[in-house]
Structure 1
């Protein structure tokens, strides 16, 4: 693994890479509360076939972390990664997990010239996800934590006692502890960088997605158009079925927005599937990319 700073849209971003730079590029986008090194388990399995590129996204790790939720709208996050793809001589394959999936979908929908294949690992397209969160049903209940993370004092709450609450959320929230103590210390180091935790939480605050109260559907939200939010490139959705934050209904009807969709379930994994079974994830990615050449 190599790491260095590069300038994107005039700001510094830290980027890790695995594999030969002559290989086809694979942009790997982490979610909350991780950083670019989130891909250290998976990337070695892919590095013989791809040049794996894993940035610390805006507000995370060693990258630029401006203050204010207005600096974390999806358009700004997509602009960062569009600049990175252009830096690597686009187009490329993009892999996103969790919040990284939101940026990956944004690239596929609004900058399709930069992406030739889209891979999502336990992440959600905004339209089916909003529909599920607005229903007042199981996904609404599972998503109540979003309101807690949007609270003004969330960073203070989560960072108390050496990030005890954030560790609980991250390490035990799904019921399976996949983290070593050494890896946990690496995460604490990144979370402790000045202003980073609040910047990470600004991704939630800047999102327009609405979470309904359980049992109280929201019927006042605009319908999200498949024409505007379409993913036309080949799309692979990898899913850990034991995810307790993103339920199966959060991807129901995804085919309406992604007509060239392949779904693959990775058994006995949850939201953190890329850590729990990286070999199976890599095999699925390699098999699918061979079937969908660029």
Structure 2
């Protein structure tokens, strides 16, 4: 497993490329590791208000046996964060398509959390032959989102009147309240906050929040998904309740549902070992 335990180390390990989304040329930063190209690469998609650092304890472990890619969504992390372009999951789906084209990837396994799960659902619905396997963790779907915290950040006047200390306090609350334990790993909280506390970060977060469009998941034809699917869900999540996983299990064929106890929204932090084990078993196609 490589040494990317801090957000600075993760950033240093990232590569960058340029994609085109809605006639905008945007930089995408991504973590890439692993050498096994016999199987489709595993692409990890994070949510809001996180970035690819969310996967630091998972992607590097999977990379021991698979080729992995973990991009920062546009408007997040070390990808382009300037103003003036769409951050919706529709736009992120277009980013993913362009990134995979840049990387010469035809078939893919997608692992998505939160709105990254919404991006994965859109891509798997619209490209059923291109997705080998699909893993969704506490993912936005149907009308499950946006949550109150994110919706509030998306109101421009709220962002404008919020000072830096207030922003950091809100982020602290989001990352601490989304965990099962009361004593979060400081590296996780600090790493998740870091991109939003720099120049332009507050505006970028507001733009990302206002781009959360429920229509982009209510319009999907979920039974068009052909991929073998794993729902690996934190069972105590209040942001994306397990009832939505149960609904997905009913609507998506070839679905395995694993509910992880003692796990809230940030399931990869609450149950990292069992998350990795369940994911690896599914990727290997073993019981």
Same fold (TM over 0.5): yes
- For this structure pair, what is the TM-score category when the shorter chain's length is used for normalisation? 0.7 to 0.9
Asked if 1:274 corresponds to 2:268, the answer is yes
Q: CA RMSD of the aligned region, Å?
A: 2.7
Partner of 1:22: 37
Aligned 1:1-294 pairs, distance under 5 A: 2-9=13-20, 10-20=25-35, 22=37, 24=39, 25-68=41-84, 71-88=86-103, 89-125=105-141, 127=142, 130=143, 143-156=147-160, 157=162, 159-161=164-166, 163-174=168-179, 176-177=181-182, 179-209=184-214, 224=218, 227=221, 230-291=224-285
Partner of 2:5: none
User: What TM-score, normalized by structure 1, do the two folds share?
Assistant: 0.80
- Please say if residues 19 and 98 of structure 2, whose CA atoms lie closer than 8 Å, have aligned partners that are also in contact: yes
Q: Aligned partners of 1:253, 1:184: CA distance in 2, in Å?
A: 31
* Count, aligned residues: 267
Q: Aligned partners of 1:279, 1:238: CA distance in 2, in Å?
A: 13
- Please say if residues 178 and 276 of structure 1, whose CA atoms lie closer than 8 Å, have aligned partners that are also in contact: no
User: What TM-score, normalized by structure 2, do the two folds share?
Assistant: 0.81
Partner of 1:213: none
* TM superposition shift of 1:229: 6.3
Give unmatched runs, 5+ long, in structure 2.
Answer: 3-12
Give unmatched runs, 5+ long, in structure 1.
Answer: 134-139, 211-222
* TM superposition shift of 1:272: 1.0
* TM superposition shift of 1:158: 7.2
